[in-house]
Amino acid sequence: MLQYVKRPRNIAEFTLMKGVTDFSNLKQFDLYETSYGQLVICSVPKFMDLLCARTPVLKDCQDTLIHVMEGDFKGIDGLPDIVGEAATITNGVNELMLINNVTMDTSIQVSMNYYERSGSPLTKYIKTYLNCLKDPYSKAKTYGGLIADGTITDPGSDYEVFTLLYFVTDNTCRKIEMAYLLANAQFTMAPMATLYNAQRGDIQFPEIQLTMNAFPIIGDEVNLLAAKYLEYTLTTSNSDRLVLDSTDFNWYALNKNGPVHGGYSLITDKVKGISNSTIANKYNT
């Protein structure tokens, strides 16, 4: 229980705000900070993967959707509370309430806001997903022709759901505070009106709201998965790497393909004979 998540300080020794508040002792004010959430798309619907294999433009949309949902993630709304429900014991005159049930809503709808890209890949992917689940005109489940041609002979809900991992870290971005596995997730709306309703002269970068129904799962195994993924992003050297120190970041403008090399010659070609260690030794001794 409570494994793989950040262990809080024990502040029972402090007086806190009772009587004189000792603001000179900051150890007792180790406050929780919000806004450190991350999202991972663990799996996409099987039938969409099969459609993407035969439709390159849809594959591009799916790749973009996953990358944007993870990389541009700004926050989520709709996670459930755990609630203690009480029953009443009475003698006809006085009453006592005792908790006799604990509940957590497992039929939730979460929402997230994103900027759409040119070509509206997120919206087009979600529109395709919903249309293939049930054609809006015929109401038939089609899977985009995968049922008609016999590619999928036993269509069912198991072909149709996403799995998402959402977790929150502390302000170091290195320890897990809480993690949720959002199972059986399904998009509920393609935000067509947000994008395609237009007024001349009203030019914006619209934010679209992505809403999904999901079944939330919490516990040590979910925390462990989140902790492993976080460790992977902190230690990997590929594009999934989570860079937390901006002085260590490989800015595109300094890359060999970046705009800094748009002049008469490549500056990196001129300095490539000078090693990093030569510079480090000069300035660190």
The larger pLDDT score, comparing residue 255 to residue 227, is at 227
Which tokens belong to 190?
């393609």
pLDDT of residue 36: 95
pLDDT of residue 279: 75
Residue 210 amino acid letter = L
For residue 69, pLDDT beyond 60: yes
Residues 6+ apart with CB under 8 A from 158: 46
Q: Where are the domains of the chain?
A: 32-78+104-243
pLDDT of residue 39: 97
CB 46 within 8 A of CB 144: no
What are 236-278's pLDDT values in tens digits? 988 888 999 998 888 877 776 666 555 555 667 777 778 888 8
CB 185 within 8 A of CB 165: no
What are 146-201's pLDDT values in tens digits? 999 999 999 999 999 999 999 999 999 999 999 999 999 999 999 999 999 999 99
The larger pLDDT score, comparing residue 9 to residue 78, is at 78
pLDDT of residue 1: 80
3-class SS at 265? coil
3-class SS at 63? helix
When pLDDT is averaged across residues 115-136 and rounded to a whole number, the result is: 97
The mean pLDDT value of the chain amounts to 92
When pLDDT is averaged across residues 25-42 and rounded to a whole number, the result is: 92
